[in-house]
Amino acid sequence: MSRNIHYKSHLDTTPPEYNGPLSPLDKSSFQKSIPILAVRVPASQTATVLNSDITRQYLIGIPKIRPVVRNPSDPDGDRLVLLKIKSQAEIPPGPLKFLESKSNGFVDYVLNLDYDYWTASEILQAVLPETLREGAPVGFATTGHVAHMNLNDEYLPYKKTIGQIFLDKNKLIKTVVNKLDNIDTQFRVFDMEVLAGEPNFIVEHHESDCRFTFDFSQVYWNSRLHTEHDRIVNLLKPGEVLADVFAGVGPFAIPAAKNKSCAVLANDLNPQSSKYLSKNAQDNEVSDLVRVSCEDGRTFIRDAFHEVYNSPFPSFTGPKPSKTLARKLQKQARNAVATTPASDSEPLLPRKTINHFVMNLPDTAILFLDAFKGVITSQEMKDAYEGKMPLVHCHCFTRELEQHNAEVDIRKRVEEKLGHAPKECNIMHVRSVAPNKEMYCISFRLLPEIVFA
């Protein structure tokens, strides 16, 4: 009876069943030896064997296992090309003849796998009870060196084990935490429990070519909003003025200043957020463009118009050069001979008006919109904003799952707080937060009849 040329054998590389202690895990219990067949191939012929269509389907093809290794009994001699079969009888005549022509025979080889080989998910499948394996956690969100997850109640008895496995399998992670249900409703800060690693919450996180430092246990940060941060910043034109009502540690404010040379009023009620916001502005060399405050959002909105008008930002003269380029330009200026005549062009005006407000407090941001009513009182400020009212980007939650219904719900709530239907309105879906909770961002232009008293 002829053998099927497409026959493939499968090696069982799943981890062994585990019956040891859960905390700490007995990592030495995760050992598996798999006998396979190897071909002794001269070094000059290994590429030919590896790239041949005739033999490719018989190569080991297992993640993290190199298909070519040195021969333990003759390290300087032939290489061993590993196959995913156990005997020559499993190789059809054609491929067998090819391998024999390119090699110096076959040898038995033992593939030894240990704890370091398997992924976190594979280890969990071996450790957890069978009833919990299907819904087992498969990943986590990261902020700097901290991995954070939200474990369901049924996995809490195994939380330390889960934390240790994820710590072992991710070399850049130093701390694994589980977010608890308790949340500070004023500052949006989660209580969290350290599952594994060091209890260090001061993180350095990189996003949008900016460096952010903050205490993850004391401020709000959501790495899943990276795309939304970039989307809003990309809406800004270079040199515009942004008022960030709920700025946190600066995921909108810092990139707007650093990447778009925007002037920013950045506010957050949480003193810890304001502290790290100031640090991040300094670390990213935009302290001259970012003014930090720590006050209630409604107060900030009412003060922002007057702040920028009475203490304007310097005029926009173009993108801010990097620190290296700035030093080079300064050196050139010192060495230059002052022979260029003064320019006759009109001087650039200081920035006295706000172009955008961003309100990223989705649980309650809409409730703050009434602060825009009658906020501009002087005729001079009215003249300054005539024809160039700010755009507002307001994040919010809705329980409406269908997009049309969600938009109707959001428009209605915004109109109730403003006293007018929003104009130039655009509503973007941001993310699904929970099975019955969606996050959106509504962008609209303020109307003179709203802000002019």
Flag whether 297 is marked binding.
yes
Give strand pairing partners of 431.
Answer: 439
Contact between residue 173 and residue 196 where contact means Cβ atoms under 8 Å apart: no
The conformation of residue 115, written as its DSSP 8-state character, comes to: T
Cα–Cα distances in angstroms (integers) from residue 153 to residues 132, 150, 158, 159, 447, in the given order: 11, 9, 10, 10, 49
3-state helix, strand, coil in the chain (%, to 5): 35, 25, 40
269 labeled part of a ligand binding site: yes
Residue 87 DSSP label? S
Confirm if 8 and 74 have CB atoms less than 8 A apart.
no
Distance CA 323, CA 269 (A): 31
* Contact call for residues 414 and 368 (beta carbons, < 8 A): no
Do the annotations mark residue 26 as ligand-binding? no
Q: Which residues contact 5 (CB under 8 A, 6 or more apart)?
A: 92, 94, 95
Residue with tokens 């308790």: 182
Residue 144, marked binder: no
Q: Of 292, 152, 160, 139, which is closest to residue 223 (Cα–Cα)?
A: 139
From the annotation, which residues make up the binding site for S-adenosyl-L-methionine? 229, 268-269, 296-297, 360
From the annotation, which residues make up the binding site? 229, 268-269, 296-297, 360
